[in-house]
């Protein structure tokens, strides 16, 4: 069965960076795009970006460009989300989620369990 | 990219039908048939309910349906059940190949 398993909770100081991992299993890793979505406490969902695990190409939300980097390790079926220059507003639950086989689709069918990132001095 | 516009809350009694709207622009909802809807219970990850405007993933009840007219998409839920009480989010593909979410709608089953 399809599973996305994320790394554990993180506590970071303002200005630091955080790297969250998402290990995929149960399907062909390179055949489906992967999204990152975050949710601040009590707030709505915010789309962060998407990565094509096959070639590694990425598209990021304009708001986060320059601070977010998404990468993948095909040998480990794992994608990574690196967010730098952290501020208190980055405190949120971070989710990875499987997209479709094409870039242009709204299909996002499997979600990781979420990783809580807390930014506090 | 501005968030899509959803009502903050909707409510209905068991057995009734409700509709949640999702207003976008000609750069997202109005331009592409790539609108999806998610259900989220407290403390849980979102669950896909509808994709590409009106497609239901396997396992999702046929009480849930999606549609679109112009720049506005809608999620309809018929035969409301207590377990439908949750937050609902719409999302759309955009002209810059990004995605945008709505602000979310809290559904209360009275």
- Residues whose CB is less than 8 angstroms from the CB of residue B71 and which lie 6 or more positions away in sequence, other chains included: B23, B24, B25, B26, B29, B30
Q: Give residue A103's pLDDT band: very low, low, confident or very high (50, 70, 90).
A: confident
Residue-level pLDDT at A104: 85
Name the nearest CA neighbour of B43 among A42, A118, A83: A42
Which candidate from B51, B98, B102 shows the least CB-CB separation from A61?
B98
Measured distance CA(A58)–CA(A38) in Å, rounded: 17
Residues A55-92 pLDDT 10s: 999 999 999 999 999 999 999 999 999 999 999 999 99
Q: Cβ(A111)–Cβ(A3) under 8 Å?
A: no
Measured distance CA(B69)–CA(B95) in Å, rounded: 18
Q: Is the pLDDT of residue A39 over 90?
A: yes
Residue-level pLDDT at B85: 98
The percent of residues in chain A predicted with pLDDT above 90, rounded, is 96
Alpha-helix runs per DSSP H in A38-110: none
Report CA A47 to chain centroid distance, whole Å. Answer: 9
A47/B89 CB distance under 8 A: no
Residue-level pLDDT at A105: 86
Q: Is the pLDDT of residue A107 over 90?
A: no
Residues from B contacting A (CB-CB < 8 Å) are: 1, 3, 32, 34-36, 38, 40, 45-48, 51-53, 57, 89, 91-93, 96-104
Residue-level pLDDT at B15: 97
Q: Which of the residues in chain B have pLDDT under 70?
A: 1
Measured distance CA(B92)–CA(B4) in Å, rounded: 8
Residue-level pLDDT at A13: 97
Measured distance CA(A22)–CA(A52) in Å, rounded: 14
């Amino acid at each position: 069965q399809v599973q996305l398993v994320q790394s554990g909770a993180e506590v970071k100081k303002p200005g630091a960076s955080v790297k969250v991992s998402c290990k995929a299993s149960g399907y062909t890793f390179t055949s489906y795009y992967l999204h990152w979505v975050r949710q601040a406490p009590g707030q709505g969902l915010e789309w962060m970006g998407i990565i094509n695990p096959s070639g590694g190409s990425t598209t990021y939300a304009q708001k986060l460009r320059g601070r977010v980097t998404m990468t993948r390790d095909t040998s480990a079926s794992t994608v990574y989300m690196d967010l730098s220059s952290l501020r208190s507003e980055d405190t949120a639950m971070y989710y990875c989620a499987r997209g479709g086989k094409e870039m242009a689709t709204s299909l996002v069918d499997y979600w990781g369990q979420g990783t809580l990132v807390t930014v506090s001095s | 990219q501005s968030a899509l516009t959803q009502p903050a809350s909707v409510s209905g009694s068991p057995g009734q039908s409700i509709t949640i709207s999702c207003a976008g622009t000609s750069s997202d909802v109005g331009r592409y048939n790539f609108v999806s809807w998610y259900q989220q219970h407290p403390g849980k990850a979102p669950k896909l309910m509808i994709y590409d405007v009106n497609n239901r993933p396997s396992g999702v009840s046929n009480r849930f349906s999606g549609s679109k007219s112009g720049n506005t998409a809608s999620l309809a839920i018929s035969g409301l059940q207590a377990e439908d009480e949750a937050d609902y989010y719409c999302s759309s593909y955009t002209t810059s190949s990004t995605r945008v979410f709505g602000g979310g709608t809290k559904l209360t089953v009275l």
